[in-house]
Amino acid sequence: MTQLHFELLDVFTTSRFSGNGLAVVKGAGDLTDQQMQAIAREFNQSETVFILPTQNPAHSARIRIFTPASELPFAGHPTVGTAVMVAINQLGNVSGEEDAIVVLEENVGPVRIGVSFRPDKQPFAEFDIPQMPVEMEHTPTNDELSLVLGLPTSEIGFENHRPSCFEAGMPFVLIPVRNLDVIGRAIVDEKAMLKLLGTQHQEVYLYCRETVKRSCSFHARMFAPTLGISEDPATGAAAAALAGAVMKFDQPSTGTKNYIIEQGVEMGRPSEIHLELVVKDGLKNVRIGGHVVKVASGLLEI
């Protein structure tokens, strides 16, 4: 019997038992695809990360990311959480102010993450997204989305924001809704969603300008039932895609623009995702960041 070390983390939060939970399994190089998928189902987190030997010795770790139902090429909260854990392993016990650079090999390509440790604060990690947001060709109509969400068409959209589809490593249907009341009432009909979106877009991301916390810029919810995630408390990849919608509809001026996206509130897992856009003759760079809290560690028997 083989024993593998694992850690449980809460990501995009400064408090335990909030944010998005993440399981990280170390030394997973000998596991088969089937074993990784079975372990991810057992942990039943939004995502489980498996750390494998690097293909490039200059990189920090190679990782594979699984939801309870399938493997992902890229995801935000596994990138942030794993980077903090790898940085701690590199630096040892961190007692003061430290910074580290971690490069994770993901299926989408290498991702470079900056990790910051500050006294009396939870560690913070931030990365440049590996793929800039690209708008997809087909966007469902308000009538079609109304059937998926159980909302009237009049409550879909705010200001000049309209539904759009963007991909930045993973594709999302981005659906602006009028306010917090509307986003709280949304219920995804999985059968209607699968019929409408098929296998091209299986992730639905709702957002509105009204927020619970005044420090936040957007309030969001993400649904991906076909990935085994009925609702996700924090979705970094969706925030990366949202950068495309922000550029399209808000048309921010030249400079560095910072946003905080609150998510997971309706689930009792409040999260905060930091989104940074660098704008100069268009969108030049996008960064995703957040805090990480260690919750538990243990041994997994295979």
User: In the prediction, which pLDDT does 200 show?
Assistant: 58
Mean pLDDT within 163-168: 95
Do 144 and 67 belong to one domain?
no
Mean pLDDT within 43-70: 96
Note whether 302 and 4 are within 8 A (CB). Answer: yes
User: In the prediction, which pLDDT does 1 show?
Assistant: 82
Residue 37 has pLDDT above 90, yes or no: yes
For residue 73, the enclosing domain spans 3-129+291-301
Do 143 and 163 belong to one domain?
yes
Mean pLDDT within 285-298: 98
User: In the prediction, which pLDDT does 201 show?
Assistant: 55
Do 284 and 297 belong to one domain?
no
User: In the prediction, which pLDDT does 137 show?
Assistant: 86
Mean pLDDT within 18-22: 98
**Can you give the pTM of this predicted structure?**
0.95
Mean pLDDT within 94-115: 93
Do 283 and 296 belong to one domain?
no
pLDDT band for position 297 (cuts 50, 70, 90): very high
Number of domains in the chain: 2
Q: What percent of the chain has pLDDT over 90?
A: 88
Do 183 and 115 belong to one domain?
no
Do 206 and 110 belong to one domain?
no
Strands (E) across 91-247 are located at 98-106, 109-117, 124-128, 134-135, 164-167, 171-176, 204-208, 218-224, 229-232
Residue 105 has pLDDT above 70, yes or no: yes
Mean pLDDT within 12-34: 97
Mean pLDDT within 279-299: 97
Note whether 197 and 229 are within 8 A (CB). Answer: no
Q: What number of residues does the chain have?
A: 302
The verdict on whether 155 is a catalytic residue reads: no
Do 110 and 18 belong to one domain?
yes
Give the angle 45-47-52 at the CA atoms, nearest 5°. Answer: 125
Which of 10-49 are b and which e, b meaning 16 or more Cβ less than 10 Å from the residue's Cβ? bbbbbeeebbbbbbbbbbbeebeeeebbebbeebebbbbb
Tell me: the pLDDT tens digits for 166-198? Answer: 999 889 999 999 999 999 999 999 889 988 887
Do 262 and 146 belong to one domain?
yes
Q: Which of 47, 106, 155, 231 is catalytic?
A: 47
Q: Which residue shows structure tokens 């980077």?
A: 83
CA 166/CA 182 separation, integer angstroms: 22
Give the domain CATH number at 60. Answer: 3.10.310.10
User: In the prediction, which pLDDT does 161 show?
Assistant: 98
- For residue 39, which of 56, 55, 27, 53 has the smallest C-alpha distance? 27
Do 38 and 67 belong to one domain?
yes
Average pLDDT of the chain to the nearest whole number: 95
Which three-class secondary structure state does DSSP give residue 173? strand
